[in-house]
Amino acid sequence: MRKRVFVALLVMLALSTMLTSVLSAAEKESFGMKVKNFWRNIFGYPARVTEESASVIADTGKKSVNVVTTEVKRLGEIASGDVAKTKELITEPIIGSADTAVKAVEGTSRIPAEAMEDKTPQTAQTENK
């Protein structure tokens, strides 16, 4: 009976040692990934800020072009005899410019937060697990 208890204790000790080593290895791997992601984010942050800034600039430019295009369209309508569009000729550029400025400020204020998000596929996979 003592031999069985002793063997059972040895088996349990061996299993717990193996389980502890596996868990320890998994923990070290995740710490290593954290360090790797930390350095990747430090060097990747300026690139993501630049990318987000370029996106905001492109959107602002697109909105500005839309304001000018609408203004030219209104001028053509008024020149062709549609005098009722005169009010829109005055209000649309003001509204469009204000909207463009608001969107540019909103986009600029979101740049730091969006650049902090890690967009690498490896990080997304580990977060989903």
pLDDT at 21 exceeding the cut of 70:
no
pTM exceeding 0.75:
no
Q: What span, in angstroms and rounded, lies between the C-alpha atoms of 52 and 47?
A: 9
Bigger pLDDT: 4 or 126? 4
Q: What is the mean pLDDT of residues 26-40?
A: 69
Q: How confident is the model at residue 25 (pLDDT cuts 50, 70, 90)?
A: low
Structure confidence at residue 3 (pLDDT): 79
Structure confidence at residue 27 (pLDDT): 57
Q: Is 11 helix (H, G, I), strand (E, B) or coil?
A: helix
Structure confidence at residue 24 (pLDDT): 63
Q: How confident is the model at residue 83 (pLDDT cuts 50, 70, 90)?
A: confident
At CA 20, angle to CA 17 and CA 23, rounded to 5? Answer: 150
50 domain-assigned: yes
Q: What is the mean pLDDT of residues 67-71?
A: 90
Q: Per this entry, what is the length of the chain?
A: 129
Structure confidence at residue 125 (pLDDT): 53
Contacts for 37 with CB less than 8 Å, ≥ 6 apart: 118, 120, 123
15 domain-assigned: no
pLDDT at 95 exceeding the cut of 70:
yes
Domain limits at 40?
36-117
pLDDT at 50 exceeding the cut of 90:
no
**Pick from 61, 48, 59: which is nearest to 111 by CA?**
48
How many C-alpha atoms does 96 have within 13 Å on its Cβ side?
18
Structure confidence at residue 120 (pLDDT): 56
Domain count within the chain: 1
9 domain-assigned: no
